[in-house]
Amino acid sequence: MPVILVITGTAALRELFGAPGTVPDDAAWPRREPVAASVAWLTVALVVTVPVVLRQYGSARPRRS
């Protein structure tokens, strides 16, 4: 999964800065639509990690000095 994130992120940045690469017609969806794929991956990562982090933060006890 991290390799896909790097590939789609790089392709998305290229597209956003006006230098899109050539993509074959039979390429996978993340290669054809890199910006949408990057947004989708980031959304999935946030949906998974934010509740876990908030749960851990809420159950953390303050440290005594």
Question: How far is 32 from 29, CA to CA, in rounded Å?
Answer: 5
Q: Kindly report the pTM of this predicted structure.
A: 0.69
Q: What is the Cα 59 distance to its own chain's centre?
A: 27
Residue labelled with tokens 């690469």: 21
Q: For residue range 23-54, list pLDDT tens digits in order.
A: 888 888 888 888 898 899 889 999 999 999 99
Average pLDDT, the chain: 85
